[in-house]
Structure 1
Amino acid sequence: MDKIFLQNEYKKIFSRIVNGDNITVLRYGDGERAIMTGEKVVAQEGWSSEGESPLAVALRESLNFTDDNVYYGISCPCCDRPAYYWYSTRIASKQITFANLFVNSNYQTFKSDFLTLTRDAIVIANHAGKNNRIGNLNVLKYYAVGDDCISCWEDECGSIVSRIISEYGSRDNLLYVVSAGPMAEPIIAELYKHNPNNCYIDFGSSIDIYIHGSDTRPYSKPGTVYSKRNCWMFDPNTADFDVSVVLTTYKKPESLTEQLAAIDKQTLRPREIRLFKDAIDGFYSIDLNDEFLSSFDDCCIAKCNRGVWGRFDYARECKSKYVCLFDDDTIPGDCWLESCHFEMMQHEGIYGTIGIVLENSSGYPIDKHSYYRVGWAEPNEQLMEVDFVGHSWFLPRKALDYMFENTEQLQQYKVAAEDMTLSAKALQHGLSTFVPPHPYDNKRVWGSDSSLAMHFGQASGSLSMNIGNLRKMESAIVDLTKTGASFLFQRNPGLVKMQKRILNRYHDAELMKHYLKVVYRKVFRRNKG
């Protein structure tokens, strides 16, 4: 996957500023995202925010420019992957660059380059720098903002922006130097909408030396890890973040509300959410009202029972390059789609939240010694290759077509064999199957909430609780082998053994940590008593 790098982006954009081009650079980091999502944030400047606010609304509205001369600087995946995916799937523009454009490994160069700017400038920054010289700029006017960006935006910024427009709104080709924390973006957005024929740059903390009289951030000190960091991100012109989500309901519609809430919280916002509702063969049916169905971009209401294969067939209609399907007992962490997509960019394949690695070709799933699991039920700290996955599938849409190539006999199982067939057919086209990391200490990236999976997965109507269905899975392995399918223990027995050792060591280490915590608590209580 193509990448762009911090130093190259800096050279490209700063040269445009030097050349007098009228470009706009808006920069968003973890603080801005926290404000927009209502999370609690406490800034080093002393202000804090939690819940909805006028600044949050203004920040979200500032994400909507698609003009070629407007650049969006966002968090990079190497520093803040959740924020990177959050912004990448909520900003329509392809003019994406780095939020830390002027800092980290660029900062020392930037300090020298900034002194070469001698343009007529308007400065919008903290009141502490009102009487200071700002580099070698010809400052026409300094508009001061307060320390608390939340209250300042509500009480002062409207009048400040109005004054700027009144006094300089008709002037073109000015450089607007902005350093106003999270207020910078909506301030610039309002000024740009009034007159796009100026250069509006959020320089942020990179000009603290002029505003506050000293460098205030760790990146300003040569030799630190921040000062050496040449960040990267996927090339915004070639990266495809479009994901379609397909939810399924059969006999457990009560899980849909929780699934929708979990999808709504995803850092990678899906392009569309679809529902496949399978029919119940028997004397009753479950109907969903129109208001609830309107929560989905598309719905398929099956008239007869199509088993576990029907949802995969329906998913072939999705609009996105990537598709993520969920069992009806699977509630993902908020970084699940992000985690799968990130791994997909390194290794194209099929990703799931619970993986099966066979150790021989007979016994699965009844003989627990014939295979081991990887994922939410048996956490893995690193990416692992498996034979097939279940509960959630993140895959290129094209793999769904492979699944139905000459598999009519396997489709006869109806309530089984879909997972193993999908991976076996994809492998014939060069796509392996993986489980992305499910570390103990970060359940945000897990594909399934373990407690809810146990609750919904063991409910009445769960196919995995039916011994007859388990026998069908066992038989399907045999039939799949007859089609020429091979398994990981046959292709790479060393990998199967190595991964099992790694898993065992990881689980043992976690058990030891838990044991030591218990011992520590007991000793602490005894000494305290």
Structure 2
Amino acid sequence: MITVIMTIWRRNNIEEQIRALLSQTIVPTAIWIYHCESNVLPDFTLCDKFPLVKYQMNTDDLGYFGRFSLALHVKTPYVYILDDDVIPSAGWLENCMKLCLAKNSIISATGRIVPKDNFKPERPKGRKKQYIRKYFVGDNYDEYAENYSVANTNVDFGCNSWFFKSEWLTYFWGIRPFTTTTGEDIHLSVSCLLLGGIKTMVPLQDVINVSGNIRKHYGYDDFATWKKKGFIEERENLFKYWIENRGWKPMNW
């Protein structure tokens, strides 16, 4: 039913991620590792240790969009793509599949709501904590070590991980990326919305039953994309492209 696509670039949480996936209440049909460059030594023994695992090694780095290219080859009705800092709780895939089917939506562990007339929504303004609580969904409660969300919430785009129907990749690739250096998260949600009417949702998550990431702190290291110089400015160009050139209207606009 579900093909999982994982990425190795500079972090090496791969075995912990695999074990978390094999502990799911709905076990994936296949787990594909997409290894970019050689910052971390490849470990093909994972295929022997875990029979569901297939290993793809690329000596180049095709960036964030490479894994969505690989997703075109899946043979299951659902695909789950996750960042290398994400460890889902045991019921996550089952919860995602139920919601994806019921709501006809992309399901993400976290997401963003774009404030009206704001082309830099990922740079908090005013009172930082209040801003994050309002516009950052899923990872907006620092007191929790896990992703946390008080309710099923529609967002403008999802982050960290994406569960969706594999047939929706026709929408993703139906619009040529403005850039492949950043913005695959925005591209997935917006292309699916514009071409297929598919929304994006961050589900209710709590620390007892289900969470999209139980190791939230893994994403706070120096490899985090949001810490990269020029990140906000690159994303600003993307927001302007989608809104001004492609007719995207975020929920609050």
Q: TM-score range by the shorter chain?
A: 0.7 to 0.9
For 1:268-310, what per-residue CA distance to the aligned partner results, in whole angstroms no more than 9, with x for missing partners? 1111111111126xxxx43223212443532221231111111
Q: Distance in 2 between matches of 1:337 and 1:298?
A: 19
Letter in 1 for 2:120: G
8 Å CA contact 1:244–1:274 kept in 2: the answer is yes
- Give TM-score scaled by structure 1 length: 0.43
Give the aligned CA root-mean-square deviation in angstroms.
1.9
Mark the structure with the bigger radius of gyration.
1
Partner of 1:245: 4
1:263 matched to 2:3? The reply is no
8 Å CA contact 2:11–2:40 kept in 1: the answer is no
How many corresponding residue pairs?
Answer: 236
8 Å CA contact 2:115–2:121 kept in 1: the answer is no
Please state whether the residue corresponding to 2:64 is helix, strand or coil.
Answer: coil
Q: Distance in 2 between matches of 1:396 and 1:244?
A: 10
Q: Distance in 2 between matches of 1:470 and 1:307?
A: 18
8 Å CA contact 1:380–1:439 kept in 2: the answer is yes
1:359 matched to 2:125? The reply is no
Please state whether the residue corresponding to 1:406 is helix, strand or coil.
Answer: coil
8 Å CA contact 1:382–1:438 kept in 2: the answer is yes
Please state whether the residue corresponding to 1:298 is helix, strand or coil.
Answer: strand
Partner of 1:306: 62
Please state whether the residue corresponding to 1:445 is helix, strand or coil.
Answer: coil
Overall identity of the aligned pairs, in %: 23
Report the structure, 1 or 2, having the larger helix content: 1
Matches within 5 A, 1:406-445: 406-408=175-177, 410=178, 412=179, 414-428=180-194, 429-440=196-207, 442=208, 444-445=209-210
Is there any run of 5+ residues in structure 2 with no aligned partner, and where? 126-130, 142-147
Q: Distance in 1 between matches of 2:102 and 2:163?
A: 14
Matches within 5 A, 1:333-482: 333-360=89-116, 361-368=118-125, 369=131, 372-378=135-141, 379-408=148-177, 410=178, 412=179, 414-428=180-194, 429-440=196-207, 442=208, 444-449=209-214, 452-454=215-217, 456-481=218-243, 482=245
Letter in 1 for 2:136: R
Q: Distance in 1 between matches of 2:25 and 2:91?
A: 6
8 Å CA contact 1:246–1:274 kept in 2: the answer is yes
8 Å CA contact 1:376–1:448 kept in 2: the answer is no
Matches within 5 A, 1:11-26: none
Q: Which has the higher contact order (CA 8 A, sep 6+)?
A: 2
For 1:423-468, what per-residue CA distance to the aligned partner results, in whole angstroms no more than 9, with x for missing partners? 111112121110111135x2x411001xx221x2122322222132
Q: Report the Cα offset of residue 376 of structure 1.
A: 4.1
Letter in 1 for 2:42: L
Q: Report the Cα offset of residue 407 of structure 1.
A: 2.0
8 Å CA contact 1:376–1:438 kept in 2: the answer is no
* Alignment match of 1:486 (pick from 220, 245, 249): 249
For 1:54-108, what per-residue CA distance to the aligned partner results, in whole angstroms no more than 9, with x for missing partners? xxxxxxxxxxxxxxxxxxxxxxxxxxxxxxxxxxxxxxxxxxxxxxxxxxxxxxx
Q: Distance in 2 between matches of 1:321 and 1:386?
A: 23
8 Å CA contact 2:36–2:60 kept in 1: the answer is yes
Letter in 2 for 1:422: L
Letter in 2 for 1:263: L
1:291 matched to 2:53? The reply is no
Matches within 5 A, 1:217-236: none
Q: Report the Cα offset of residue 363 of structure 1.
A: 1.9
Q: Report the Cα offset of residue 474 of structure 1.
A: 2.2
Q: Report the Cα offset of residue 391 of structure 1.
A: 0.7
Q: Distance in 1 between matches of 2:53 and 2:15?
A: 15
- Give TM-score scaled by structure 2 length: 0.86
Q: Report the Cα offset of residue 402 of structure 1.
A: 1.2
Please state whether the residue corresponding to 1:489 is helix, strand or coil.
Answer: coil
